[in-house]
Chains A and B, each alone.
Chain A
Amino acid sequence: MSPHGNAAGKPAAQKRAKKVTLTLRVNGEDHEVLFAPHKTLLEVLREEMGLTGTKHGCELGECGTCTVVVDGEPMLSCLMLAVECDGREITTVEGLSTAKGPHPLQEAFADLNAAQCGYCTPGFLCASKALLDRNPSPTREQIRDDLAGNLCRCTGYAKIFEAVERAAAVMRGEPVPPPPGNEDLGGAAPAQGEVTRGA
């Protein structure tokens, strides 16, 4: 135990919190993880599994930056106990891309500059993924409504909503215009429907 582990005033339970070993299914893979039962999913993802893509913000459920997808639904990892996540399918931002490349949402966020400081982006990507998996053609109003629990203090949201609409179109197999900025590249303009990175 570290010399600080016994600090005076620490509740007795804190000193002897017995750890549990649990298999968590994260991003399609089973991981055996050892942690104390009062640890949140956020703490276990970041501190025990090294998955630091999920960010901690307010940690009180007020900002949405720690959003992950659990069994297809967006959930706040700061308010869930990891011990309650056994047998559940957890997807973090690290699990969005595939061998083929980034997720269409990640492409669209990059193409449209929907991230500025980027701190809220993993939460928005996860909340948006859950939305598009459930509703492939959401209206702007539905996107606004569904992402209401995620705060962004940089973008003013417009680019984020546009990026979700763009990703939805790509996922439906519809053509999308080339991302802004590509016309200055001097090369051939990308064909309609081709997903490319922004300049």
Chain B
Amino acid sequence: MMRLPAFKYLAPHSVAETVLMLSSEGPGATVVAGGTDLYPNMKRRHQVPKTVVSLRRVADLRGTHAGADGSLRIGASTTLMALERDARLKAERPALWAAVRSISTPVLRTMGTIGGNVLLDTRCNYYDQNLEWRRAINNCLKCEGDTCWTAPGSDRCWAVNSSDSVPVLIALGARARLSSPRGHREVPVESLYRDDGISYLTKDHDEVLTELVLPPVGPWKSHYGKLRRRGTFDFPVLGVATALRFDGDRVAEARIVLNGVGSSPLRCTEAEGFLLGKRIDPETAKAAGEIAFRPAKPLDNTDFENAWRKKMVKVYVRDGLLAAK
């Protein structure tokens, strides 16, 4: 039986109490919301926190608040299922709704939270294994080893960002609110990530993600496409969020964001620039896919063959642009 390692359990009632606990417990403490990412990691001994600070009793972090201006604030502990059942989210931000609904399985969406998905640990075939398996390969760079088995000549970890909600949140221009003993700050979701499989977040250990703030949808149109082996359960091996704003029938602004092809979400700025002033037709969408495909660097550390995954970037960007039109 895979059991959790023992830890000190703390259950604060407010964000202020949470950040104080995290701060006083030090880097050996971690936050848990739904537990669907942390607990499997702890059972596999990827993470063995001394203290687990649970957000379950922090009521302020749950629920959505629609602003009069059309903006939307989503509490970080809102479950993915609560968002899936939110008819207004489905109507107003269908790409985010579709991304949320594509995460894992219904039972895990019932438990897992949007904040947990945003801060999801990076994934890799050499890392997401049990302790005995990892010991048999002398561990990997991300956990107790000194070699990245995905790229043994490399001095960095190439574990993959696999969060479905993140590309869409970035494409929709969402911002993240963080609290710490030093106060609050609000940053673009995009800036939460670092291109490093180990140190993949820019957040401090005593900072808590409290809220996601989405600007009014306005004229933006968006789409999320996800490549995976099964129609459920699986993490994305490629996710493509596309968002377009038009001036007449010409693109005034475009955002294309990929996951599953790097340690951080990948913004396809060159392809975005290419689309400006153009009409979205099959030929333009195809050409944008060809450009977006270039910086994507899928490595051999998730499901499917990596060269094929790279090729699929062209297809998913093309289809995503046509669907967002």
B3 sits at the interface (CB 8 A): yes
Partner of B111, one of A38, A62, A80, A145: A80
A17 sits at the interface (CB 8 A): yes
Partner of A61, one of B9, B40, B52, B231: B40
Contact between B9 and A83 (Cβ–Cβ < 8 Å)? yes
Contact between B5 and A14 (Cβ–Cβ < 8 Å)? yes
B7 sits at the interface (CB 8 A): yes
Partner-contacting stretch, out of B64-72, B101-109, B142-150, B293-301 = B101-109
> Could you tell me the distance between the alpha carbons of A53 and B5 in the complex, rounded to whole angstroms?
24
Contact between B110 and A74 (Cβ–Cβ < 8 Å)? yes
B50 sits at the interface (CB 8 A): yes
With both chains docked as a complex, state the minimum distance between the C-beta of B116 and any C-beta of chain A, in angstroms. 12
Please indicate which of the listed interface residues B2, B3, B6, B9 has the most CB atoms of chain A within 10 Å of its own CB.
B6
Partner of B232, one of A17, A73, A148: A148
Partner of B35, one of A74, A79, A145: A79
**Other A-B pairs beyond A37-B7, A73-B110, A148-B232, 9, CB < 8 Å:** A13-B8, A38-B7, A59-B1, A74-B106, A79-B40, A81-B9, A84-B54, A127-B107, A147-B106
- Answer whether A38 and B50 are a contact pair too, CB < 8 Å, given A74-B107, A148-B105: no
Contact between A60 and B40 (Cβ–Cβ < 8 Å)? yes
A149 sits at the interface (CB 8 A): yes
Residue of B nearest to A73 (CB): B110
Contact between B4 and A38 (Cβ–Cβ < 8 Å)? yes
Q: Contact residues of A with B, CB < 8 Å?
A: 11, 13-14, 17, 36-40, 43, 56, 59-62, 64, 67, 73-76, 79-81, 83-84, 127, 145-150
With both chains docked as a complex, state the minimum distance between the C-beta of A181 and any C-beta of chain B, in angstroms. 32
- Answer whether A13 and B50 are a contact pair too, CB < 8 Å, given A56-B1, A60-B2, A149-B233: yes
- Answer whether A38 and B5 are a contact pair too, CB < 8 Å, given A13-B50, A80-B111, A149-B105: yes
In the complex, 28 of the A-B residue pairs with CB atoms within 8 angstroms, ordered by the A residue number, are A11-B6, A14-B5, A17-B6, A36-B6, A37-B9, A38-B4, A38-B9, A38-B52, A40-B3, A40-B4, A40-B39, A43-B1, A61-B104, A62-B233, A64-B105, A64-B107, A73-B110, A74-B106, A74-B110, A79-B35, A79-B39, A81-B54, A148-B232, A148-B233, A149-B104, A149-B105, A149-B106, A149-B232
> Could you tell me the distance between the alpha carbons of A80 and B43 in the complex, rounded to whole angstroms?
12
With both chains docked as a complex, state the minimum distance between the C-beta of A7 and any C-beta of chain B, in angstroms. 13
Residues 233-261 of B, flagged 1 when their CB comes within 8 A of A and 0 if not, give: 10000000000000000000000000000
> Could you tell me the distance between the alpha carbons of A149 and B2 in the complex, rounded to whole angstroms?
19
Contact between B3 and A43 (Cβ–Cβ < 8 Å)? yes
Residue of A nearest to B44 (CB): A60
> Which residues of A have CB within 8 Å of B43?
59-60
Contact between A75 and B110 (Cβ–Cβ < 8 Å)? yes
Contact between B111 and A11 (Cβ–Cβ < 8 Å)? no
Contact between B110 and A80 (Cβ–Cβ < 8 Å)? no
> Could you tell me the distance between the alpha carbons of A39 and B1 in the complex, rounded to whole angstroms?
12
> Which residues of A have CB within 8 Å of B108?
61, 76, 149
> Could you tell me the distance between the alpha carbons of A105 and B81 in the complex, rounded to whole angstroms?
24
- Answer whether A76 and B56 are a contact pair too, CB < 8 Å, given A14-B6, A59-B1, A81-B9: no
With both chains docked as a complex, state the minimum distance between the C-beta of B81 and any C-beta of chain A, in angstroms. 8
Residue of B nearest to A36 (CB): B6
Residues 1-39 of B, flagged 1 when their CB comes within 8 A of A and 0 if not, give: 111111111010000000000000000000000011001
B48 sits at the interface (CB 8 A): yes
> Which residues of A have CB within 8 Å of B7?
13, 37-38
> Could you tell me the distance between the alpha carbons of A79 and B44 in the complex, rounded to whole angstroms?
13
Contact between A59 and B2 (Cβ–Cβ < 8 Å)? yes
> Which residues of A have CB within 8 Å of B6?
11, 13-14, 17, 36, 38
Contact between B35 and A80 (Cβ–Cβ < 8 Å)? yes
> Which residues of A have CB within 8 Å of B105?
64, 148-149
> Could you tell me the distance between the alpha carbons of A61 and B40 in the complex, rounded to whole angstroms?
7
